[in-house]
């Protein structure tokens, strides 16, 4: 309990120190708000324009959710197929790896052209960014099953299905959830990039629109809300992880 309180207090204390230092620096050096507003001014904008951020934030959240689930379903399915078949592994894995040499930002205009300015292009952009780490880490997790356990099951003449569901899947879950936590944070970036390139709504669109009008405090407020959104999604994945694999966190599966 004490360790948990310390782990919670340290980031909060560091955040408070950074915020106070930022606020003091803005006043001490008399930095104009259109260049760098102070945290207090940003927080006021976040509260006063709550309706605006809520409207755009819901759009971004939907894009993130759909894109992440698309990447998760396709990525996990392909990872299982790659693990099950050498032919599929040799066919798809090099293509998946080589695709990562292409900057995602470079194909964003093409996605806008193909899927339009609506939610579709942002969902695909988010899925593309999250897809690669999910596939690679899931494949590695399925391959990392304990060899002694596999040998024991072979002696017991367990079927391939039993080996997969009783050993490989449970033992791969910690690695899979690790990459899911990374993916859900990175998915925010994918949605925002898509909104930067072409959108009519969303927090990324709001940032571009506010920046063009020199409303810098609105830009920072959008960034803060994106950060809160990302941390909230990360926390949700952590809760699901604790429910599905409690033994990783010292719990018991009763």
Spans of the chain below 50 pLDDT: 252-254
**Axis-axis angle for helices 86-99, 119-143 (nearest 10):** 130
Determine the Cα–Cα distance for residues 245 and 253; give it in Å rounded to an integer: 8
Asked whether residue 2 is domain-assigned, the answer is no
What's the pLDDT score for residue 162? 82
Provide the 10 A C-beta neighbour count for residue 38: 19
Contacts of 32 (CB under 8 A, 6+ apart): none
Asked whether residue 130 is domain-assigned, the answer is yes
Determine the Cα–Cα distance for residues 197 and 216; give it in Å rounded to an integer: 19
What's the pLDDT score for residue 172? 87
What's the pLDDT score for residue 6? 65
What's the pLDDT score for residue 192? 92
Asked whether residue 3 is domain-assigned, the answer is no
Q: Are 38 and 30 in contact (CB under 8 A)?
A: no
Determine the Cα–Cα distance for residues 197 and 249; give it in Å rounded to an integer: 41
What's the pLDDT score for residue 253? 43
Asked whether residue 63 is domain-assigned, the answer is yes
Asked whether residue 37 is domain-assigned, the answer is no
Q: Which domain holds residue 101?
A: 57-246
- Supply 60's token pair: 């971004």
Domain with residue 71: its CATH number is 1.10.3720.10
pTM of the full structure: 0.85
Asked whether residue 64 is domain-assigned, the answer is yes
What's the pLDDT score for residue 168? 86
- For CA atoms 207, 209, 214, 217, the dihedral sign is negative
Tally the domains of the chain.
1
pLDDT single digits (tens) 7-31: 677 878 888 899 899 889 988 888 8
Burial class (CB in 10 A: 0-12, 13-18, 19+), 114: exposed
Asked whether residue 143 is domain-assigned, the answer is yes
What's the pLDDT score for residue 80? 92
Asked whether residue 50 is domain-assigned, the answer is no
Query: Backbone phi, then psi, for 199, in 5-degree steps?
Result: -160, 165
């Amino acid at each position: 309990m004490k360790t948990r309180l310390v782990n919670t207090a340290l980031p909060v204390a560091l955040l408070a120190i950074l915020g106070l230092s930022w606020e003091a620096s803005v006043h001490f050096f008399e930095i104009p708000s259109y260049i760098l507003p102070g945290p207090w001014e940003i927080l006021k904008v976040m509260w006063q324009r709550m309706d605006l951020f809520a409207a755009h934030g819901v759009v971004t959240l939907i894009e993130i959710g759909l894109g992440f689930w698309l990447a998760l379903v396709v990525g996990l399915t392909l990872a299982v197929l790659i693990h099950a078949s050498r032919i599929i592994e040799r066919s798809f894995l090099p293509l998946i790896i080589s695709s990562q040499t292409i900057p995602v930002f470079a194909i964003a205009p093409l996605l806008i052209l193909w899927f339009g300015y609506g939610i579709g292009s942002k969902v695909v952009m988010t899925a593309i960014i999250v897809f690669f780490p999910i596939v690679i880490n899931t494949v590695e997790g399925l391959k990392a099953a304990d060899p002694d356990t596999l040998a024991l099951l072979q002696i017991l003449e367990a079927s391939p299905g039993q080996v997969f569901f009783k050993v490989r899947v449970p033992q791969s879950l910690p690695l899979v959830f690790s990459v899911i936590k990374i993916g859900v944070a990175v998915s925010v970036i994918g949605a925002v990039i898509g909104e930067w390139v072409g959108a009519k709504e969303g927090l990324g669109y709001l940032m571009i629109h506010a920046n063009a009008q020199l409303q810098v405090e609105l830009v920072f407020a959008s960034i803060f809300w994106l950060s809160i959104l990302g941390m909230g999604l990360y926390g949700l994945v952590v809760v699901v992880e604790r429910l599905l694999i409690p033994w990783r966190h010292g719990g018991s599966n009763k």
